[in-house]
Chains A and B, each alone.
Chain A
C-alpha cells in the first residue's frame, strides 16, 4: 500500500490504493481529515491519562460536531486509516470501531457484513474487559451507550433477520455461515458475564453495609483502578431487563434489575438514557404482570423528572430519544390508569400533560366497547418494546417475513387481559355511588342474573389484587368492597400518596447543598 504524507496533502488529495473501493462506496474510507486525526490523537491521550472529563467532552460533543460537519451521510474513516496515529493501540481501535459502528447505525443502514463485523467488535471489546486487562476510566455515558447500543443492534439484527422475503442468495449464505453473530445465547451470556465478573451484585450488597463506595463515587475508581468492568456490569443489569422484555419474559427481566434499588438515586440515574430505559422497561414489565399501581408510581416519577430536566438535554444527542420515550410512557400511563383508575397516584403536572395527550382516549377506553379495544391496541402498539423472535429462521421453509410475530403475540395476550377486565368498569361505577347494595339490586342495574354478578365481583377482586414476586397480595383497587351473604358493603379507599420517600430525598439533597456551601472558601 502506497504511503502518504498526510501533513502535506491538500484536502482533496489523490486516492490511495483502495481507489476501487472509493468508486464502489462513494467515499474514501482511508481518507483522514486533519480534524479527525486530531480527534483520535487527543482522545487517545486523554484515555491513556485517564482524563475522564475531557474524554466525556470529546465523546459527547466533539464526536457529534465532527459527525454533523463531515460525516452526515458517510461513515467515519476506517479504523485502519486511524490506527497508526494512535500507536496501533488494540483497545483504542476497539473503542474507535464501537463509535464507528454506532455512527453507522444512526446515520446509515448497515449491511449484513457490517452487522456481523460490529458483533465481532463487541465480542473483542467485552472479552478484553472481562479478562481484566483494561486500565481505563471511561465516562458513564459512554459505558451506558455501549450496553444500550449492544442490545439495540441485537434487536435490530433479529428484526432484519426475520424479514426473509427479500433476502438475496448471498445474504442467506452469510447468515448460515455466521450463525453465531448476534446469537441470542451469545448476547445474553456476554451481559451475564459482565454482571458476574464485575461482582457488581456483591458490591451493591456491601454498599448497604457501608463497605463499598460504588454509588457515592458514581461508579468511578479513585484508587488508581478502572471503572470499566464494574460499570459495564452494572449497566448490563439494565441491559438484561431490556433483552428479557424483548423476549416477553417480564418476570426474569425484573429479577435481573432487582439488585438496583430504583427508589433511590444510583449510578443508573447518572446517565439519563439509562434512567429512562430502566424505568420504561420496569414499568412495562409491571404492566404486563398486572401490577398497575407499581407501574403508575414509577411512570409518574420519571415523567415528572423528565418534565423538569429535559431543557438541560436539548443539545444532547439523546434528546430525540428522551422525547420519544417520554411520549411512549404517557401512552403506557394512560393504559395503566384506564385499567386501574388511581388518579391520586399521579402528580398534578403529569396529570395535566396526560389529560392533554390522552384525556379523550382514556374516557373512551373505559367504555370497553369495540372502539375502546381499538384504542388499547393503538396505544399498546405505539408504546411497546420492539419484541423479537430470537430463534434463527429455518432456511428450508418458504421465505416469509415473520418479524411481526413476537409483537402480535404480546399484543394479543394483552388485549385478551383487557377483555377479561371488561365488566369491571361497570362495577366500579356502581360501587362509587353506593355504600351498601344488595346483590339482587345491583344485578338488576347491571342487567345480569345474580350468579353472573357473583362471578363478576370475584373477577373484580381477583384482578385488582396483584401478587408480587414474594407471593404477597396487594390491593390495587381504588374502590373496594366485601360481601356479607347477599349484601355488598363498599369500603372507603385510603389515599395512596407517599411522602416518606420525598422527605428522605429532600433531607439528603439539603445536606448535599450544605456540604457544597461549606466547601466554598471565602478569602
Chain B
C-alpha cells in the first residue's frame, strides 16, 4: 500500500511538472522514469510522453531509443487515438529508419488499415518488442472491437476471431464474458456459423445519431441574456 501511495505522489509530481514547467531539460530523467512507470503500472500519459519526445528533439544526444520504443508501443495501445502519429512527428527520420521503429511503423500501418490478420502475424514475429509492455494484447483487442463496433451491427464469428486473434474454446469463453457484461448477443447466421450482435451506438445505428451539429453550448447563450432581458 505504501509503495502505491509513493507512486501516486510521484505521478502527481510528474504530471504537475509537465503542466507547469515543461520546457526544462532537468525533468528529462523524471519523464523517462515515468515512461517505465506507465509500462509497469498499465497507465498512460500522452502529455508527459510528448513532453519527453520534445526534450529529445531539443537535445538529441540524450535520446534513449529504448524509451522511445516504449512510448511508441504505448501510443499504439491508445488507438483509435492518433497518438502514434503524434509521436512520429517528433522523432527524427534517421531514428525512424532503425529496425525496431520500422517494425512498429509497419504494425501501426496494419492497425490503421484494418489488416488485423497481418498485424497479429507481424506482432508474433516481434514479441521482443511488444511483450515488453504488459497489457499490449488486451489494448489492441479493445481497439479491434471498437472498429468492429462502429462498422458492424452483426459481425460473423470468423471476422471477429481474426480481428482479436482468439479462436476455438478461448473465443467461446471470450464471447461468454462479453455477452454477460457488454450486451453482446449471439445469433445463428444462415448456415454459416455464429453471428455476434454488437451493442447499438450512433455509428452502427443511424437512428441513434443525435443531430448535435447545431447544438450551442449554454455558455454562449448566457452571453445574450442581458440583451434579451
Establish whether residues A459 and B153, one from each chain, have CB atoms under 8 Å apart when the complex forms: no
Give the docked Cα–Cα distance between A391 and B112 (Å).
Answer: 31
Give the docked Cα–Cα distance between A189 and B54 (Å).
Answer: 14
Establish whether residues B203 and A409, one from each chain, have CB atoms under 8 Å apart when the complex forms: no
Instruction: Bits for A89-108, please: 1 = Cβ < 8 Å to B, else 0.
Output: 00000000000000000000
Residues of A within 8 A of B (CB): 184-185, 188-189, 192, 208, 247-252, 255, 263-264, 288-290, 390-391, 405, 408-410, 412-413, 417, 420, 451, 454-459, 461-463, 465, 467, 471, 473, 475, 480, 482-486, 491-492, 494-501, 504, 507-508, 511
B80 lies within 8 A of chain A by Cβ: yes
Give the docked Cα–Cα distance between A264 and B219 (Å).
Answer: 11
B132 lies within 8 A of chain A by Cβ: no
Contacts of A456 in B (CB 8 A): 114
Contacts of B205 in A (CB 8 A): 482
Q: Which residue of B lies closest to A495 (CB)?
A: B213
- Closest beta carbon of chain B to A176's beta carbon, Å: 16
* Binding-face segment, B7-15, B83-91, B120-128, B170-178: B83-91
Establish whether residues B216 and A500, one from each chain, have CB atoms under 8 Å apart when the complex forms: yes
- Closest beta carbon of chain B to A23's beta carbon, Å: 42
Establish whether residues B90 and A484, one from each chain, have CB atoms under 8 Å apart when the complex forms: no
Q: Which residue of A lies closest to B162 (CB)?
A: A451
Give the docked Cα–Cα distance between A410 and B116 (Å).
Answer: 27
Establish whether residues A504 and B86, one from each chain, have CB atoms under 8 Å apart when the complex forms: no
Establish whether residues A455 and B114, one from each chain, have CB atoms under 8 Å apart when the complex forms: yes
Establish whether residues B221 and A185, one from each chain, have CB atoms under 8 Å apart when the complex forms: no
Establish whether residues A391 and B60, one from each chain, have CB atoms under 8 Å apart when the complex forms: yes
Residues of B within 8 A of A (CB): 22-25, 46-47, 50-51, 53-54, 57-60, 80-82, 85-86, 88-90, 92-93, 109, 112-117, 147-148, 150-156, 159, 189, 195, 203-206, 209, 211, 213-216, 219-221, 223-224, 227
Establish whether residues A508 and B227, one from each chain, have CB atoms under 8 Å apart when the complex forms: yes
Q: Which residue of A lies closest to B114 (CB)?
A: A458
Please name 13 pairs of A and B residues whose Cβ atoms are closer than 8 Å in the assembled complex, sorted by A. Answer: A247-B54, A251-B50, A252-B47, A255-B47, A263-B220, A420-B113, A451-B117, A455-B116, A467-B80, A485-B189, A499-B214, A504-B220, A507-B224
Establish whether residues B57 and A420, one from each chain, have CB atoms under 8 Å apart when the complex forms: no
Query: Which listed residue, A251, A390, A462, A483, touches B86 by the CB 8 Å rule?
Result: A251
Contacts of A405 in B (CB 8 A): 92-93
Establish whether residues B156 and A409, one from each chain, have CB atoms under 8 Å apart when the complex forms: no
Establish whether residues A461 and B82, one from each chain, have CB atoms under 8 Å apart when the complex forms: no
Establish whether residues B216 and A484, one from each chain, have CB atoms under 8 Å apart when the complex forms: no
Establish whether residues A247 and B151, one from each chain, have CB atoms under 8 Å apart when the complex forms: no
Establish whether residues A508 and B223, one from each chain, have CB atoms under 8 Å apart when the complex forms: yes
Give the docked Cα–Cα distance between A249 and B23 (Å).
Answer: 13
Establish whether residues A458 and B92, one from each chain, have CB atoms under 8 Å apart when the complex forms: no
Query: Which listed residue, A208, A247, A255, A494, touches B213 by the CB 8 Å rule?
Result: A494
Establish whether residues A420 and B109, one from each chain, have CB atoms under 8 Å apart when the complex forms: yes
Establish whether residues B220 and A467, one from each chain, have CB atoms under 8 Å apart when the complex forms: no
Establish whether residues B114 and A454, one from each chain, have CB atoms under 8 Å apart when the complex forms: yes
Give the docked Cα–Cα distance between A480 and B109 (Å).
Answer: 23
Establish whether residues B89 and A410, one from each chain, have CB atoms under 8 Å apart when the complex forms: yes
Give the docked Cα–Cα distance between A484 and B151 (Å).
Answer: 9
Give the docked Cα–Cα distance between A25 and B112 (Å).
Answer: 59
- Closest beta carbon of chain B to A495's beta carbon, Å: 8
Q: Which residue of B lies closest to A515 (CB)?
A: B227
- Closest beta carbon of chain B to A469's beta carbon, Å: 9
Establish whether residues B213 and A496, one from each chain, have CB atoms under 8 Å apart when the complex forms: yes
Establish whether residues B153 and A288, one from each chain, have CB atoms under 8 Å apart when the complex forms: no
Contacts of A471 in B (CB 8 A): 81
Contacts of B203 in A (CB 8 A): 461, 465, 473, 475, 480, 482
Contacts of A455 in B (CB 8 A): 113-116
Establish whether residues B82 and A482, one from each chain, have CB atoms under 8 Å apart when the complex forms: no
Scoring A188, A250, A252 by chain B CB atoms within 10 A of each residue's CB, the highest score goes to A252
Give the docked Cα–Cα distance between A408 and B97 (Å).
Answer: 14
Establish whether residues A462 and B112, one from each chain, have CB atoms under 8 Å apart when the complex forms: yes
Q: Which residue of B lies closest to A485 (CB)?
A: B154
Interface contacts beyond A189-B24, A192-B22, A485-B195: sample of 15 additional A-B pairs, CB < 8 Å, sorted by A? A185-B24, A185-B58, A251-B86, A289-B86, A409-B93, A463-B112, A465-B150, A473-B203, A475-B203, A483-B152, A497-B214, A499-B214, A501-B216, A501-B220, A511-B224
Contacts of A289 in B (CB 8 A): 82, 86
Q: Which residue of A lies closest to B112 (CB)?
A: A420
Query: Which listed residue, B58, B209, B224, B227, touches A391 by the CB 8 Å rule?
Result: B58
Query: Which listed residue, A264, A451, A473, A482, touches B151 by the CB 8 Å rule?
Result: A482
